[in-house]
Structure formats: structure tokens, C-alpha cells
Amino acid sequence: MKIAIVGATGLVGRNIIKQCERLLPQDVEFHLFASTKSAGEILTVNNQDLTIKELSSENIEKYDIALFSAGGERSKTYAENFISQGSYVIDNSSVFRLQEEVPLVVYGINQSEITSNTKLIANPNCTTMGLVMALKPLHDKFDLVSMTPVAYQAVSGSGTAALSSLSKEESLDDKSLAELKDGYYTRPIARNVIPLAGNLLDNGYSDEEMKFVHESKKILGIPELVVEPSNARVGVRTGHGVFCSAVFEKNINTDEAIDELNNFEGVQYWSETLATPLDAENNYDVLVSRLRIGLSSPKIINFWCVSDNLLKGAALNAVQIAKYLIQK
């Protein structure tokens, strides 16, 4: 079994390596790819020192699985090269997610959509992933109709450069922070909340917000689902949180809803403690708390969920899919 990790030196790539070490057989032969800048560096996988290869057509051979986390442009350029050599490709970028023939897979929800003919599998957006994990057991019980998610996205979702900017900003006094002109975001993020995550589109929503809309429908298999999203960026390193108000066909019973969440693998309901990004960091599960019935209707559930955007939101889900492919 040969597995390629493309984008091995990035935030998600390094987490993919850790999850491969934890979840996949010890006899897997790993091959690491990254940009020209990182080529030749050494990374250790399963106590073996591996030399990073430059991602280029000449370096691509037959692998059983290729795990991509190198950005959309590299996925568009190189994914087909790996597939043509016989590899399954599991891609973390957004470029293939909404293509009808490409399954958008959250392990634990819809991995059965991977068929014998599937060679390209898309990993969903990190914020969407945590939310649909919480929604899936509720939808199975009460039939989801619409939702209004409000996301609070951590800085690590923007990558290493954004985290470096946050660290620099955290060392500034209030006056210097207010005058900052060269931060990663358009406004300072340390000790702050920016009411926009992603890039604005012509409709006034951001691309991150529209990922909620399109990806939730596809993953949950509810094409008619109504989604009214809002996303903000917060000065937190890791852990995307979402407040969600969800409307269902059936009346909700709180105890039943909590039981459904607790019985769904990969989800924990916290009744005694409020789940926060600090709790979610390095946690493999999606954490849910503050569930309550709507004030205006017994068909509404309001809840909070939070998850590690680098783990279940990216690396963990990708490696869970890889493990599923190995065991098929």
C-alpha cells in the first residue's frame, strides 16, 4: 500500500501525517510532496525519515491513495495525473466539491456514496463539516427543513501566514494594534471579531457562507434545504464554532434530540460544560452544547457546535476516508 501526501508541510498536511500514523496500517509506504521551496526537506513518518519531493508531473507514479491539501490550483493541475496512474484522490480544496459526479464525503454520514467507480473524492469545507455532523442525527430523527447558521471561524482556517500574523498582533498594545496596516486580514484579528470570513461575492455573501449553502445540501442529501448563513472570523487559533437555528418537519423533544447526538459516532453533547474552541482543539469529535427548543415553535432547535477545523474539519476526515478505502 503506497500513499502520497500532497502538501505535506502545510498545517493540514502535517495533521494528515499524524492521523495516518494513528489510523492507518504501519506497513503503509508514504511519499511526501510539497512545493519547490520545501523539496528536499526531511519529515518523519512512523519513525522513518522521508525526503519531500517536489510536486511535478515527472515525480508522479502509481499510488493507491493520494491525499491532497495543497490548494485548489495544485489540485486542478495534478489530481488527474495521480488518477491516471491509478490512485484514489482525496482532495481538501473546494475545486471539485460541487461537481455532480464527485462525492462530497463526511465520514460517518455518507461514505457509502464512494463506489467502485469513484476515483476522486472531495473533502468538505471545515466549517460545514462540523455543522453537518451535528445536524445529521437530528435530521434522521426530525427531518430538517431549513437552518440559519452563524459561524465563528478560527484563524488557522486561513493557514500558516494568518497564524503568524495573529501571533504578531497579540504582542502589540492596543494603540499599535489599532494602527496596524500590514496584518493578514483587512482588520486586526487579535482581540477582535471581523464580521466576514472568506471573500465577498456579488450577492453580498462570502464564498465561505455559500459553502454552507451548497455543501450542506449535497452532504445531507436535501436539495431543497433552505440555508441563511453568516460567517465571522475571530481571534482564536483553532476551533470553528457555529450557532445554528434549525427548523424541522416534526416537533422536537429535547431529551430525544440529545440522545440522538450522543449516540452518533463522532459527536458529543456537553450538558454540564459549555464547549469552546479550547475544548475542541485536538479533539476528534464535534462538540455540541446549549441545545434548546425554539421560543416561537416546537419544530425549532437552537444549538452551538464546535470542532477542530484542522482535524475533523480537514485532516482527520480525509484519513478516515482513506482508511475506509483500504478496508473496502
* Radius of gyration of the CA atoms of the chain, in A: 20
Q: Amino acid identity of 250? A: K
Q: How many CB atoms are closer than 10 A to CB 44?
A: 10
Q: Which of 146, 142, 145 is nearest to 254 (CA)?
A: 142
Q: How many CB atoms are closer than 10 A to CB 282?
A: 13
Q: Write down the catalytic residue from 20, 126, 244, 305.
A: 126
244 carries an active-site annotation: no
Ordered DSSP codes for 298-312? TTEEEEEEEE-TTII
Contacts with 59 (C-beta within 8 Å, 6 or more apart), sequence order: 33, 53
139 carries an active-site annotation: no
Between CA 186 and CA 234 the distance in angstroms is: 13
Q: Write down the catalytic residue from 20, 31, 139, 240.
A: 240
3-class SS shares of the chain: helix, strand, coil, % to 5: 35, 25, 40
- Tell me which residues are annotated as active site: 126, 240
